[in-house]
Homo-oligomer: A and B are copies of this chain.
Amino acid sequence: MAVNSPLPIAAELKPVAGVEIGYAEAGIKKPNRKDVLVMKLAPTATVAGVFTLNRFCAAPVQIAKAHLAAAQTSGQPITALLVNTGNANAGTGELGLSLAHQTCAALAAQLGVAPTQILPFSTGVILEPLPAVKVIAGLPQAVAGLKADNWYHAAEAIMTTDTQPKAGSRTVTIGGHSVTMTGISKGAGMIKPNMATMLGYLAFDAAVAQPVLDELVKYAADRSFNCITIDGDTSTNDSFMLIATGAGALKITSVEQPEYAQLRDAVTELSLFLAQAIVRDGEGATKFISIIVEEGANVEECRKIAYSIGHSPLVKTAFFASDPNLGRILAAIGYAGVDDLDVSKLNLYLDDVWVAKNGGRNPDYKEEDGQRVMQQAEITVRVKLARGAASATVYTCDLSHDYVSINADYRS
């Protein structure tokens, strides 16, 4: 199903010194499925995250944020991340908070740390009570199995409607030190800017001071997970966590340090790989679409237009049909909410094909050229606004019958 997205190969996923991974089949929603994940961190690790902006942010998101803040004031580092699938623990009120706290307390007891040193994450159905008893019952198995080269299992353990695990590793040399980084992600629907039912975890073995890591996670998220959309739905549970284990030789204490930019770019590249993997495995996706809006007055208007195109069901069904019904793209640009847009200066390209020129059909445009591009599995839509020098890119997929099937059947 996934668009041009080969399965990760377990042997190519590199252990990151300072991270051990365990998992369990806890039967949270279905039996015989990895649905509890524990990532145990070295005491030297720093952790930073970005979270959903949904006002109905889930209980685990609220707690993870609070525990991250507590770690910075108490000096007690984050010891483990605990992820469950099968239940989002969202829209669950006070009871949801209490149940999430119970799972943190149970894992903390087994690891001999304080409950505030655990970060909880959940993904799955909303508005149903978390079966905390099942999560807790799965913890001893997960803790007993902790080991460094479990990343492939970790990628599997966080899947929901994903058709394949998503993971990648990189080794880069920065300032003469080798840095190993490995990340996993999940998500296939309810994907939109400001995070989605999307979880991403990326660990590397450099030491990074907390303020630097806080900046790095935002930088990377804005250029990766915050640039993807499948259906415009922003989840209650989205989280992207960056873990600097401190187990390697590279140490970064300031964004001014020359090595920072190299690390930042490497982390961002792997984050984008993990984010794009989500789109490639989008629910029912048959096409991978990059939408580039250029020559805008500012980034915000470029993003508005890119998302307007990326969210349009009419545009997305046209991609599914490989039908160069490109007027739908113009319509989506027109209703994006950029009020003073002068469409008579606008140009639209589909890969190398110049479709619309100065706001109308390019006289040299031939339908068969559009048709040729539309049949590809990967397509770039490029809009030139002729208003300035800003640009933005958004990644999305098409809207197919399978999207409807998957989401009409999700709970059954």
Task: Decide: A356 and B53 in contact? CB cutoff 8 A.
Answer: no
Produce 1/0 per residue, A372-412, CB < 8 A to B: 00000000000000000000000000011101110111111
Interface presence of A235 (CB below 8 A): yes
Task: Decide: A127 and B361 in contact? CB cutoff 8 A.
Answer: yes
Interface presence of A328 (CB below 8 A): yes
Distance (Å) between the CB of A81 and the closest chain B CB? 23
* Cα separation A281 to B199 with both chains bound (whole Å): 38
- A residues in contact (CB < 8 Å) with B: 53-57, 88, 90-96, 125-129, 189-190, 192, 194, 231-236, 311-314, 317-318, 320-321, 323, 325-328, 330-336, 338-339, 341, 343-344, 355-356, 358-361, 399-401, 403-405, 407-412
Closest to A197 in B: B331
Residues of B within 8 A of A336 (CB): 55
3 tightest A-B CB contacts, nearest first: A126-B327, A93-B360, A56-B334
Task: Decide: A313 and B343 in contact? CB cutoff 8 A.
Answer: no
Q: Which of B127, B331, B335 interacts with A330 by CB under 8 Å?
A: B127
Residues of B within 8 A of A341 (CB): 55
* Cα separation A295 to B262 with both chains bound (whole Å): 51
Task: Decide: A125 and B55 in contact? CB cutoff 8 A.
Answer: no
Q: What are 5 contact pairs spanning A and B, CB under 8 A?
A: A54-B335, A56-B334, A189-B314, A234-B334, A313-B399
Closest to A367 in B: B128
* Cα separation A403 to B318 with both chains bound (whole Å): 12
Task: Decide: B404 and A236 in contact? CB cutoff 8 A.
Answer: no
Task: Decide: B408 and A318 in contact? CB cutoff 8 A.
Answer: yes
* Cα separation A404 to B56 with both chains bound (whole Å): 30
Given contacts A313-B313, A327-B125, contact A361 B93 (CB under 8 A): yes
Q: Number of copies of this chain in the oligomer?
A: 2
Task: Decide: A361 and B331 in contact? CB cutoff 8 A.
Answer: no
Task: Decide: A53 and B335 in contact? CB cutoff 8 A.
Answer: yes
Max chain B C-beta neighbours (<10 A), residue from A192, A232, A235, A407: A407
Residues of B within 8 A of A411 (CB): 323, 325
Task: Decide: B314 and A233 in contact? CB cutoff 8 A.
Answer: yes
Distance (Å) between the CB of A338 and the closest chain B CB? 7
Given contacts A55-B343, A335-B192, A358-B93, contact A330 B404 (CB under 8 A): no
Residues of B within 8 A of A190 (CB): 314, 331
Distance (Å) between the CB of A212 and the closest chain B CB? 28
Task: Decide: B90 and A323 in contact? CB cutoff 8 A.
Answer: no
Residues of B within 8 A of A127 (CB): 326-327, 330, 355-356, 361
- Apart from A55-B339, A318-B408, A323-B410, list 6 A-B contacts with CB within 8 A: A90-B330, A91-B356, A127-B327, A192-B335, A313-B399, A404-B404
Task: Decide: A94 and B400 in contact? CB cutoff 8 A.
Answer: no
Distance (Å) between the CB of A273 and the closest chain B CB? 26
* Cα separation A343 to B126 with both chains bound (whole Å): 14
Task: Decide: A91 and B408 in contact? CB cutoff 8 A.
Answer: no
Residues of B within 8 A of A126 (CB): 325, 327-328, 330-331
Task: Decide: A407 and B317 in contact? CB cutoff 8 A.
Answer: yes
* Cα separation A404 to B330 with both chains bound (whole Å): 20
Residues of B within 8 A of A344 (CB): 93
